[in-house]
Every structure is written in structure tokens, then in C-alpha cells.
Amino acid sequence: MSSEVAYPALYLKRNEDTRLRAGHLWVFSNEVDVKRSPLTGFEPGEACVIVDAHEKPLGVGYVNPNSLICARLVNRGVEHALDRSLLVHKLKVALSLRERLYPEPYYRLVYGEADALPGLTLDRFGDVIVAQTTTAGMERLKDDIAAAVAKVIKPDALVWKNDAGIRALEHLPEYADAGMHALPLSLLVREGGLDFEIDPLGGQKTGWFYDQRANRDLLAPYVRDARVLDMFSYLGGWGLRAAAAGAKEVICVDGSASAVEAIGRNAQRNGLADRVSAVRADAFEYLKTQRSARERFDVVILDPPAFVKRKKDFNEGRLAYRRINEMAMQILARDGILITCSCSYHLPRAALLEAVQQGARHLDRNVQVLAQLQQAPDHPVHPAIPETDYLKGFICRVLPA
Ligand code: SAH
């Protein structure tokens, strides 16, 4: 059956189809021919056909008249409606990558634009799916998403963790909701042979940072018999894996009380409690205290929250990266290892390395970059959408000059 969907047209101005044709999925409000298709004629999240100035349809998407990114292309061509069966198809494509990558069902199942599902994130924790929408278009499809997930994955529960700050850009409320499902009391994520207890409703983001898993897999050669400091540790992902790989002592530091308590339980659960401790502190304060006390660590891990959340915070954020990296180097043992990361999309990889190098020069140290880190392959990068490529990091050896 080859028919065309009957959604209202969103007309682009002349030449404003270039980015979409190059592979991107976003339409900005100034690119729309509002004389032909006034944005006010659309409801938030309404499905549309995106059409160029020559009447050629590019594909099916959805509109949000209240957002700067006023439409996103979901599917090229106009044969398929934005419905359950399209979602089922896309979920299967996403699932087949993850099943190739991972022997166990713990991964990011859908990473928005890069999985051709703009505005949707799905994380899988065994039989529980934690879902997040960041656009009105995906919010409107919630029931179809849940039904498609039920069909493809058959999970015990699907939780909506819709409390991301960026929802405000689409005028969406923030909430977390387990729906009709009874959640298991403690949900476990398995990584690197360890079990971590997570809180899918009350935790940060979707509960676990799968984006760092492949990087944590690289820890082993650096941490054997080492004294390790895991800064911004959250539930202890890096720190516990360092302990499991043979570190002799690990200290995890996070500002969140609930995270620090969970680290204690996670260390117990994995038989690592004798070598892992957790401290609730502000990272900058903690590093200062350690410096004054002349404490030394063989390995320091810095995995902070985004210091550059918006483009205009670039200068201030860059200085924060410079400062925290310099402080970390001050408590590194001679010939120590600094693992430094940034999840700020607006901070380029080169700027993070520059922050490290400036700190090193200031302290008269020499840095060798041993590995360049990026987000795990269950967070694929879309080559036409730079916004999908946000996580960067370096494993550095820091030597006296
Ligand atoms: N390293 C973690 C993810 C870190 S997310 C992992 O691999 O899973 C960032 C963490 O930094 C959060 O847990 C947050 O509570 C913590 N945080 C944010 N600002 C902080 C500060 N100023 N001092 C200490 N911790 C902070």
C-alpha cells in the first residue's frame, strides 16, 4: 500500500531545506515560510509534513510553535505516519545495535536524534525501561511509544523520567511517573561484572550514566594497587570499577547525600566495602582540603556535570574546567594518572585539553595524553548533528617537568 500521510504541511523558505537534506533533523522557526504555513496554526507536538519551497516534501515530522527548534524531521519520505508501527520499526533498528554490542540488557536503547527518534531517550535496565521525552512531539506520542516498547522489549515496567531541564524550551512540565507499574524496590544495573543499585524515579537523569561505560572499561591498567580518587562520583561507577580492577584504596566524592549513601550500599553489595569509602562534599572544597593536608593519589578521575550548559556560559565554564583540573593535578602523586572528562556540548574537545595543559604549565608539570575518551556506542554520534557528540575526555599521565 503506497499512500501519503495526510498531515498539514510545514513550508520552508527558499534554500532552508539545505541542512535537512544534509542529514540534520531540525527546523528553526526563522526557516519556516510562515505566510504559507503560520506556526500558530499548529498545536504543540502536532505531526506535519515538512515541505521545501518548491513543494517537494522532505518527510514527516512534528511541530512545536513555541520552540526555537520549531520542528523536527522524524522520517524521510511521506509513506509512513508517525505511529506505533513506525516506532516499532525504529526501536528494532536501535535494539539490533545494542544486542550486537552488549551481552546483557543494560544500555541506552534509544539516543534521540542519533537513533532517528528526535526528542526520545530510552534507557534499559534489564526488564525496566526508563523513558524521557524532551519535545512536545514525542510527549504526544507517549502512549504509542509505550505500546511500541511493550511490543519490541516486553519490559515489566516503563517509567517516565520527564524532569530534564531542557523540557522548559518546549514548555513541557517536569515530572517523574511510574504509571500503573509497580517498580521493583531496588533496581540494579550491571556493568563490568558489578551490580549497582539505582533509583529510576529519584536519581539523576535516567538513573545511570551509560555514556561512560566504555571509558570505565579502560581503567584496569592504571588502577592496580593504586590510591584512586573518584570526583563527582554519583553512584560510584568509576570508583567501584577501579576497586574491582585492583585499586588498593578508593575515595568517591559527590555533593549528593543520596548518591553517597548509595555508594556505601553498592560497595557492600559487590564485596568492595573494605577498599571504598564515600564522602559528601563540594568537589572544589574537597580538593582544596586534600591539597592543604598534602594527600596524594595515584589516579584522580574528574567526571563533573556540564560546566558549560549554555553557549553564553563558555568563558566561565572553561575557567571552571581549568581550575578543577589544576586542583586535581596538585594532589596527584609523581607520575600520576588524571582521567578528565567533560559532558558540555559547548566545550570543544580541544578546549578541555587546553584547560588541562594550562593547569599543567601553571604547576610546571608535563602531560602525556594516553587515550581520548568519547561517549559509548549506545550513544551513537550523528555526523550531521554535532549536538549528538557531547562527551569528551582524556586519560593523561602527569609528570614533573
Ligand atoms: N561520574 C558519574 C557521573 C557524574 S554526574 C558516573 O560515572 O556515573 C555529576 C555528579 O556531580 C552528580 O552526581 C552530582 O551530584 C555531582 N556534583 C555536581 N556538582 C558538584 C560539586 N560542586 N561537588 C561535588 N559533586 C557535585
Residue nearest to atom 20 of ligand 1 (CA): 255
355 Cα–ligand 1 center, Å = 19
Helix, strand or coil, per DSSP, at residue 334? strand
- pLDDT computed for residue 1 by the predictor: 46
Residues with CB under 6 A from ligand 1: 204, 209, 212, 232-234, 237-238, 254-256, 259, 282-283, 303-305
Mutate to test the pocket of ligand 1, among 208, 212, 232, 341 (most ligand atoms within 8 A of CB): 232
Q: Which DSSP state fits 251?
A: E
Which is nearest to 200 in space by CA: 268, 122, 263, 275?
A: 122
Q: Which DSSP state fits 77?
A: B
Beta-strand ranges (E) seen in 35-177 are: 47-51, 57-63, 69-76, 106-111, 120-125, 128-133, 157-162, 175-177
| Backbone φ and ψ of 63, nearest 5° | -115, 145
178-184: long-range pairs with CB below 8 Å, 24+: 179/146, 181/156, 181/157, 182/157, 183/128, 183/157, 183/159, 184/128, 184/156, 184/157
Cα separation, 105 vs 98, whole angstroms? 8
Query: Is pTM beyond 0.85 here?
Result: yes
- pLDDT computed for residue 202 by the predictor: 82
Kindly report the number of other CB atoms within 10 A of residue 176's CB atom: 15
Beta bridge partners of 110: 122
Q: Spell out, as residue ranges, where the chain has pLDDT lower than 50.
A: 1
The atom number, within ligand 1, closest to the CA of 341 reads: 1
- pLDDT computed for residue 180 by the predictor: 63
Q: What is the pLDDT of residues 97-108, one digit of tens each?
A: 999 999 999 999
**For the residues of 105-120, what is the DSSP string, one character each?**
SEEEEEEGGGGT-TTE
Which is nearest to 304 in space by CA: 396, 391, 373, 201?
A: 391
Cα separation, 281 vs 361, whole angstroms? 28
Residue nearest to atom 10 of ligand 1 (CA): 232
Helix orientation angle between 84-101 and 142-152, rounded to the nearest 10 degrees: 50
Cα separation, 143 vs 312, whole angstroms? 37
The atom number, within ligand 1, closest to the CA of 209 reads: 8
Helix orientation angle between 314-330 and 283-292, rounded to the nearest 10 degrees: 30
242 Cα–ligand 1 center, Å = 17
Whether 343 is a known active-site residue: answer: yes
Q: Are strands 9-11 and 47-51 parallel, antiparallel or unpaired?
A: parallel
Distant-in-sequence, close-in-space partners of 275: CB < 8 Å, separation ≥ 6: 243, 247, 248, 249, 250
- pLDDT computed for residue 184 by the predictor: 67
What is the spatial order of strands in the sheet that 106-111 belongs to? Answer: 106-111, 120-125, 128-133, 157-162, 175-177
Residue nearest to atom 7 of ligand 1 (CA): 237
Which of 48, 70, 343, 396 does the annotation list as catalytic?
343
255 Cα–ligand 1 center, Å = 7
Distant-in-sequence, close-in-space partners of 254: CB < 8 Å, separation ≥ 6: 232, 233, 234, 260, 263, 278, 280
Mutate to test the pocket of ligand 1, among 234, 324, 339 (most ligand atoms within 8 A of CB): 234
Query: 102 and 111 in contact (C-beta within 8 Å)?
Result: no
The atom number, within ligand 1, closest to the CA of 205 reads: 5
Helix, strand or coil, per DSSP, at residue 71? strand
234 Cα–ligand 1 center, Å = 5
The atom number, within ligand 1, closest to the CA of 233 reads: 1
Mutate to test the pocket of ligand 1, among 197, 254, 303 (most ligand atoms within 8 A of CB): 254
Residue 236 to residues 113, 188, 230, 259: CA-CA distances in angstroms? 29, 14, 8, 8
The atom number, within ligand 1, closest to the CA of 305 reads: 9
Cα separation, 264 vs 268, whole angstroms? 6
